[in-house]
Amino acid sequence: MIMKNSKRIHNSILLLSLMVYASSCSLLGTGNKGGVSATTGAEYATNKNIFGYQPYDDQQLPNPPGMVFVQGGRTVLGSFEQDLYGSRDNIERTVTVNSFFMDETEITNSQWKEYVFFQYNPQKLRLPKSVQVPDPNDPDLQTGNNPPPSWDPTPQGKTHSKSNSKDLEDILPDDNVWASDFSFNDGYTENYYSNPGFNNYPVVGVSWRQIADFSKWRTDFVNLQLIFQMDYEELPPVFVDEFFVQDDQTGDYQLALGGVPIGEVSAEGQIIQIGELDDYQQEIVEFMNQTENRKQFIERGIYLPSFRLPNEAEWEYAAKATIGTVYLDENEEYGRIYPWDGRGTRNPYGKKRGAQLANFKRGRGDYAGIAGNVNNDGAVIPEAVGLREPNDFNLFNMAGNVSEWVFDTYRPLSFGDFDDLNPVRKDGTNDSEENYGWTTLNQKDSISSNTMGEYRSLINDRAKVYKGGSWKDIAYWMAPGTRRYLDMDRATNTIGFRNAMISIGTQQLDQSNGLLGKVFGGR
């Protein structure tokens, strides 16, 4: 009898708990399919019931392709190395950096070639089943009465961008960074970027401004791919109305511009030539980049934030990766000179003990060590990415190989102006370029304007920071806290880059995407 009563009491409690849970879910707006506002008590609108407010569900955005998650936190930025140059331009200070994503490796020649290719060619998207894009090179189609027009995928002439068209030479890396009157490196001018044998080597010879264009293309490409993976009802109606029409008889969607189908439409479907598809995609990119349109995608959680250069604080924080130095939860046992533990540049552990942990210049005239020696890696120029051990954030080559551009404008005393939360210097605010001799120029970035030859330093609003040592630098420059700068339109054979992206509301702790990452990899 007692057992029956206790069981009855248990069932009553369970039922009461479920009722309380259902009530609380309803109160929070998560109980039924439509949901109820916790503010007004009104039911939310649904696709079937258009009246009322319709909030968009929290979307779990995919991992950006090729990137790893860098968990934000408190850190001490600044150089732990002795300031050999006496620059005092990166004094130690405590800041907090928000979580973000960063490329696992430096951007490679192969990835840059992909960028160049898609400046002249459309990308492959998930198109409606009724849409056909004939292959101009298909011999069977060439024999018909109306063969598809030829299409040459070889990059040449102007790029296809509607608003930012470039000449081919403007987007290619500068091969001449390898040329020198006093070295026999000229062979790299024809091979380093072009030869497939260097595909997985970091791209060099690219300026800060070129990288800004690359980053915008990458943002457009990935988001266009994401958008075309969505169901039509999930997309903004203004976008669907502009770029699709629905066949009244079949119900199939067709590609359109301004609500008018493109290509040839018949009972068999829609036939679109490659050139038309390319123009169609460029029109969508222009649409996506308008602020009021982009906002609608963002509100629906189907639009990744921009790929960009990491700012200096993010890069330095990611390079130091001090998650391995935590002591008693809130303290650090020690700082790091390099992106690894210890004061030296060699691996002190295991089978690879004694091996160099980065590709750098070991001493005057010594780029690789003595031939035949176990520690000779043969890397006398940049080497393929991902060959050295990653740091604690699972980022490769954060020291050596190539230095890397970051977003910040250079000022020697920036550390005194920075905020202590997500610090960055966007321009010369509080330290005008006039302080560095740029007072008499009508065109501040034109050498010819300075006819009187007044004093000017190299520091102005075009001076951008680059970080990390390269294959051509001694170990001192591999310390994440060191910093140098270069004009945004200059390029060298020692500077490459990687992209970053802000993290939206994620609690991810896994620092690994796997080497070179998975496109849209799951968490």
Mean pLDDT of 33-55: 76
The answer to whether residue 242 is domain-embedded is: yes
Residue 508: per-residue pLDDT: 52
Mean pLDDT of 316-335: 83
The answer to whether residue 286 is domain-embedded is: yes
pLDDT at 423 over 50: yes
pLDDT at 412 over 80: yes
The answer to whether residue 243 is domain-embedded is: yes
Contact at 8 Å (CB) between 78 and 93? Answer: yes
User: Do 132 and 27 reside in the same domain of the chain?
Assistant: no
User: Do 141 and 282 reside in the same domain of the chain?
Assistant: yes
- What are the residue ranges of helices labelled H in 205-252? 208-227, 237-243
The per-residue pLDDT for range 465-478, each reduced to its tens digit, is: 999 999 999 999 99
Q: What angle do CA 123, 129, 131 make, to 5 degrees?
A: 60
pLDDT at 451 over 70: no
Residue 47: per-residue pLDDT: 67
Contact at 8 Å (CB) between 428 and 454? Answer: no
Residue 456 corresponds to which tokens in the numbers above?
């000017």
Mean pLDDT of 501-520: 56
The answer to whether residue 65 is domain-embedded is: no
Q: What angle do CA 220, 223, 226 make, to 5 degrees?
A: 150
Predicted confidence band at 27 (pLDDT cuts at 50, 70, 90)? very low
Q: How many CB atoms lie within 10 A of CB 441?
A: 18
Residue 301: per-residue pLDDT: 84
User: Do 137 and 262 reside in the same domain of the chain?
Assistant: yes
Higher pLDDT, 329 or 481: 481
The answer to whether residue 471 is domain-embedded is: no
Residue 505: per-residue pLDDT: 65
The per-residue pLDDT for range 291-310, each reduced to its tens digit, is: 999 999 998 888 889 999 99
List the single range of 109-113, 114-118, 407-411, 412-416 with lowest mean pLDDT. Answer: 412-416
List the single range of 270-284, 313-327, 373-387, 393-407 with lowest mean pLDDT. Answer: 373-387
Residue 350: per-residue pLDDT: 81
List the single range of 141-150, 277-286, 514-523 with lowest mean pLDDT. Answer: 514-523
The answer to whether residue 254 is domain-embedded is: yes
Total domains in the fold of the chain:
2
Final residue belonging to a domain, choices 257, 284, 301 = 301
Final residue belonging to a domain, choices 31, 55, 79 = 55
pLDDT at 416 over 80: no
Distance CA(125)–CA(503), nearest Å, equals: 26
Residue-range definition of the domain harbouring residue 19: 1-55
- What are the residue ranges of helices labelled H in 228-266? 237-243
Burial grade of 369 (CB within 10 A; 0-12, 13-18, 19 or more): middle
Residue 142: per-residue pLDDT: 77
What's the pTM? 0.86
User: Do 132 and 269 reside in the same domain of the chain?
Assistant: yes
Specify the residue for token string 């649904």: 46
Percent of the residues in the chain that have a pLDDT greater than 70, as a whole number: 83
- What are the residue ranges of helices labelled H in 254-410? 274-288, 291-299, 312-320
Segment of 32-41, 283-292, 331-340 carrying the highest mean pLDDT: 283-292
Distance CA(515)–CA(390), nearest Å, equals: 10
Residue 100: name the closest of 407, 305, 289 by CA.
305
Distance CA(420)–CA(415), nearest Å, equals: 9
Residue 519: per-residue pLDDT: 38
Mean pLDDT of 346-372: 86
Residue 477: name the closest of 105, 76, 89, 81 by CA.
81
Average pLDDT of every residue of the chain = 84
Distance CA(77)–CA(419), nearest Å, equals: 12
User: What is residue 158's three-state secondary structure?
Assistant: strand
The answer to whether residue 452 is domain-embedded is: no
Element (H, E) at 464: strand 463-467
Predicted confidence band at 132 (pLDDT cuts at 50, 70, 90)? very high
The per-residue pLDDT for range 234-260, each reduced to its tens digit, is: 899 999 999 999 988 888 899 999 989
Predicted confidence band at 58 (pLDDT cuts at 50, 70, 90)? low
User: Do 132 and 3 reside in the same domain of the chain?
Assistant: no
Residue 465: name the closest of 342, 355, 309 by CA.
309
User: Do 20 and 146 reside in the same domain of the chain?
Assistant: no
pLDDT at 21 over 50: no
User: Do 19 and 146 reside in the same domain of the chain?
Assistant: no
User: Do 138 and 257 reside in the same domain of the chain?
Assistant: yes
Higher pLDDT, 413 or 484: 484
pLDDT at 2 over 70: no
Q: Facing residues of 94 across strands?
A: 76
Final residue belonging to a domain, choices 243, 266, 301 = 301
Residue 14: per-residue pLDDT: 44
Segment of 25-34, 48-57, 132-141, 165-174 carrying the highest mean pLDDT: 165-174
The per-residue pLDDT for range 79-131, each reduced to its tens digit, is: 777 776 667 788 888 899 999 999 999 999 999 999 999 999 999 999 998 89
pLDDT at 34 over 70: no
Percent of the residues in the chain that have a pLDDT greater than 90, as a whole number: 51
Residue 59: per-residue pLDDT: 61
The answer to whether residue 345 is domain-embedded is: no
Distance CA(54)–CA(46), nearest Å, equals: 7
